[in-house]
Each structure stands twice: as C-alpha cells, then as structure tokens.
Amino acid sequence: MSIVKEFKEFAIKGNAVEMAVGIVIGASFGKIVTSMVGDVMMPPLGLLLGGVDFKNLKVVLKEGIVNMPPTPSVPPVTLNYGMFINTVIDFLIVAFCIFLVVKGINHLKKSAAK
C-alpha cells in the first residue's frame, strides 16, 4: 500500500476529522478562557487583594540599561510570576471543562450500553 493511499484512508476516517475539529475548537476555547481569566476574573481578584495587577507581578533579576540613541538599550531580565499565575488558572479551567466533557461522554456511553 502506498503512503498516499494510507494517508488518504487515515484522513477520511471519522476519527481524524473529529480530532481536527476538536483541535480547532479547543484552540478557540483556549483563547476564550485566556480572555475570561485575564480580563474578567483577575481584575476583580486583584482589586480584592489591594489593587494588584497580576500581569505586572514580577521579580527583577537584572535591571535594564537605558542608553542614548545610537547605542541600543538593554531590557531588564524579569521573572514574570503574575503571568504564570494567569496561565495556571487558564489551565485549570480548561482541564476542568475537559473533565466535565469526558465525564458526560462516558455517562452517555454507559446509558447507551444498557
């Protein structure tokens, strides 16, 4: 069997098409969750914690150098732990939603098997 024929059979199988649709929807869902966390959840949480903006939470490891124009400036080296907190919350929300979807699918499979 040729590679082209094998690929064609793989690509037209339902699982490959479903996987592709899942990846596209998952990427879009990830953007929605990122916006929800960064734009909706974190500002009120930061306000409750005394006006903290999580995007700006960082530890400066090395100060930047500002030079006059022909010499390029050197940006500071920072450890951006606030952005990490946002990313962890994004992950937890996406993981929980996937858990709920898989749990629902498993429930439907059990119901159909009866």
**Residue 23 to residue 38: CA distance in whole angstroms:** 22
Q: Are 92 and 85 within 8 A, CB to CB?
A: no
Domains present along the chain, CATH in parentheses: 3-113 (1.10.1200.120)
Confidence of residue 14 (pLDDT cuts 50, 70, 90): low
Q: Given CA atoms 13, 15, 16, 22 in this order, what sign does their dihedral have?
A: positive
State how far the alpha carbon of 108 is from the alpha carbons of 17, 19, 95, 102, 105, in Å.
21, 19, 20, 10, 5
- Cα distance between residue 45 and residue 49, in whole Å: 6
pTM: 0.64
pLDDT band with cut points at 50, 70 and 90 for residue 81: very high
- pLDDT(68) > 70: yes
> What is the amino acid identity at position 60?
V
Query: 63: how many CB neighbours lie within 10 A of its CB?
Result: 11
Whether residue 15 is predicted with pLDDT greater than 80 in this model: the reply is: no
By percentage, how much of the chain surpasses pLDDT 70? 96
| Mean pLDDT of the region 15-28 | 80
Within the chain, residue ranges assigned H as helices are 3-12, 14-35, 42-48, 81-113
pLDDT band at 1 (very low <50, low <70, confident <90, very high): low
| Mean pLDDT computed over every residue of the chain | 84
Q: Between 23 and 113, where is the model more confident?
A: 23
